[in-house]
């Protein structure tokens, strides 16, 4: 716990420093850019930092890190990589919220909503909504390139070009896969009909794996471990642990997207139902419903639901037995991950912390 706090503090400090340095460099562009930088700062002060934590533990699985010691070049590189992931994630979320038309994020208005509100407050001309979208697109782009810069700095600090090359390879693959996975997710929501059960489950699982499981857990672990100079068998062990934890992480997210408490998640309860996300949870529920109920379910999903309709869909999913099924898949994946770590060629203290973080990531209520 103490270690986690110290690392969280170092990460926040480093993110703030990066934004401040950019703010200074962009000074010649004048004071009108302040809202853009303020939003960056505000957005980046929140979040669960799972990706940063997994990256640091990936590093520590391979190479010791004295968390209480001074931040030397190696420690700094690990922190930079962790921060790069958080900035990339912020960029992705800001764009995601435009795509999903989300209103809130991290308990604040979503970035595009914030810019739209500014437009209205200032009484500007044209569409406040469109200005909001424009601001969010540009801030996402900006943060994506700042993320890159931090990853460059991490790689440049390494004494060994092979470590840098391997780190970049994992980072690059992650970025491509998450953008394309997100595209597949959006595509699913557009289809007029669900596919047959087996095919739909395959599609929903593919989105889950690429958009989230690899992105949230496996890739950060591999990036951190590559930065530390992992041997192939170490990468393999971490991937065998990371992928199932990532799957469990996203299945928990699916449950929270339907049943989560707004106070804790910072998102309205039942948000995924309004958005019409064809998650594994939804797919499993549908399979259990009798045909007439399933038709009603399909007609409601992805529409502008009121509170009663949300409650009804929640009840339908709950009584279908799909929640238990998903909980069971979560448990099975956590077990498989735990098994993969047993006797794996990674540092023991990191393995212990990984199991703890995995539990937090897969059992969270927010």
User: CB-wise, 247 or 350, nearer to its own copies?
Assistant: 247
207 to 246, contacts with its own copies by CB under 8 A?
A: 210
Q: Return the number of the residue (204 or 362) whose C-beta is nearest its own copies.
A: 204
- At closest approach, how far in Å is the CB of 202 from its own copies? 9
Q: How many residues bind its own copies (CB under 8 A)?
A: 62
Q: Does 119 bind its own copies (CB under 8 A)?
A: yes
Question: Shortest Cβ distance from residue 7 to its own copies (Å)?
Answer: 26
Contact status: 144 vs its own copies (CB under 8 A): yes
Is residue 138 a contact point for its own copies (CB under 8 A)? Answer: yes
SS (H, E, C) the chain: CHHHHHHHHHHHHHHHHHHHHHHHHCHHHCHHHHHHHHHHHHHCCCCCCHHHHHHHHHHHCCCCCCCCCCCCHHHHHHHHHHHHHHHHHHHHHHHHHHHCCCCEECCEECHHHHHHHHHHHHCCCCCHHHHHHHHHHHHHHHHHHHHHHHHHHHHHCCCCHHHHHHHHHHHHHHHHHHHHHHHHHHHHHHCCCCCCHHHHHHHHHHHHHHHHHHHHHHHHHHHHHHHCCCCHHHHHHHHHHHHHHHHHHHHHHHHHHHHCCHHHHCCCCCHHHHHCCCCHHHHHHHHHCCHHHHHHHHHHCCCCCCHHHHHHHHHHHHHHCHHHHHHHHHHHHHHHHHHHHCCCCCCHHHHHHHHHHHHHHHHCCC
Is position 148 an interface residue for its own copies (rule: CB under 8 A)?
yes
Contact call for residue 328 and its own copies (CB under 8 A): no
| Nearest residue (CB) to its own copies, 122 versus 324 | 122
Among positions 2, 161, 290, 291, the unique one binding its own copies when judged by CB under 8 A: 161
81 part of the interface to its own copies, by CB under 8 A? no
181 binds its own copies (CB under 8 A): yes
Pick between residue 121 and residue 308 the one whose CB is nearest to its own copies: 121
According to CB under 8 A, which residues from 266 to 285 bind its own copies? 276
90 Rama sector, left if φ>0, alpha if ψ -120 to 50, beta otherwise: alpha
Segment near its own copies (CB under 8 A), from 64-72, 176-184, 305-313, 342-350? Answer: 176-184
Q: How far is the CB of 30 from its own copies (least distance, A)?
A: 7
Binds its own copies (CB under 8 A): choice among 95, 105, 163, 267: 95
Return the residues of window 29-68 that contact its own copies according to CB under 8 A: 29-30, 32-33, 36
Q: Is residue 186 involved in binding its own copies (CB under 8 A)?
A: yes
Q: Is 132 one of the binding residues for its own copies (CB under 8 A)? A: no
Q: CA–CA distance from 98 to each of 109, 191, 212, 232, 268 (Å)?
A: 12, 20, 18, 39, 16
Residue 40 or 344 having the CB closest to its own copies:
40
Interface with its own copies (CB under 8 A): 22, 25-26, 29-30, 32-33, 36, 91-92, 95, 98-99, 101, 119, 122-126, 130-131, 133-135, 137-142, 144-146, 148-149, 152, 156, 161, 165, 168, 172-173, 175-177, 179-184, 186-187, 189-192, 206, 210, 276, 302
């Amino acid at each position: 716990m103490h270690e986690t706090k110290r690392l969280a503090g170092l990460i926040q400090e480093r993110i703030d420093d990066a934004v401040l340095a950019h703010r200074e460099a962009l000074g010649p562009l004048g004071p009108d850019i302040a809202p853009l930088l303020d939003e960056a700062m505000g957005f980046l002060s929140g979040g669960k930092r799972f990706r940063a934590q997994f990256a640091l533990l990936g590093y520590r699985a391979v190479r010791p890190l004295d968390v209480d010691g001074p931040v030397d070049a190696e420690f700094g590189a690990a922190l930079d990589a962790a921060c790069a992931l958080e900035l990339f994630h912020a960029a992705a979320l800001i764009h995601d919220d435009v795509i999903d038309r989300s209103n809130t994020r991290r308990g604040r208005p979503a970035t595009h909503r914030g810019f739209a509100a500014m437009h209205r407050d200032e009484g500007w001309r044209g569409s406040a909504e469109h200005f909001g979208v424009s601001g969010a697109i540009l801030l996402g782009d900006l943060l994506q390139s700042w993320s890159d810069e931090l990853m460059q700095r991490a790689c440049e600090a390494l004494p060994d070009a092979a470590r840098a090359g391997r780190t970049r390879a994992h980072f690059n693959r992650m970025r491509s896969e998450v953008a394309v996975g997100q595209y597949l997710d959006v595509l699913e929501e557009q289809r007029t009909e669900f596919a047959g059960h087996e095919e739909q489950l395959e599609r929903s699982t593919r989105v889950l794996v690429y958009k989230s499981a690899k992105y949230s857990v496996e890739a950060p672990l591999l990036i951190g471990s590559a930065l530390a100079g992992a041997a192939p068998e170490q990468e393999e062990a971490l991937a065998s642990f990371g992928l199932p934890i990532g799957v469990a992480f996203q299945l928990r997210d699916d449950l929270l997207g339907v049943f989560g408490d707004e106070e804790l998640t910072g998102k309205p309860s039942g948000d995924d139902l309004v958005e019409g996300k064809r998650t594994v949870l939804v797919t499993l529920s549908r399979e259990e419903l009798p045909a007439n109920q399933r038709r009603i379910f399909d007609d409601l999903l992805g529409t502008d639901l009121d509170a009663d309709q949300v409650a009804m869909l929640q009840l339908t999913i709950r009584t279908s037995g799909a929640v238990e099924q998903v909980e069971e898949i979560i448990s099975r994946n956590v077990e498989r991950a735990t098994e993969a770590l047993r006797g794996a060629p990674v540092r023991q203290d990191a393995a212990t912390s990984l199991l703890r973080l995995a539990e937090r990531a897969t059992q969270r209520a927010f």
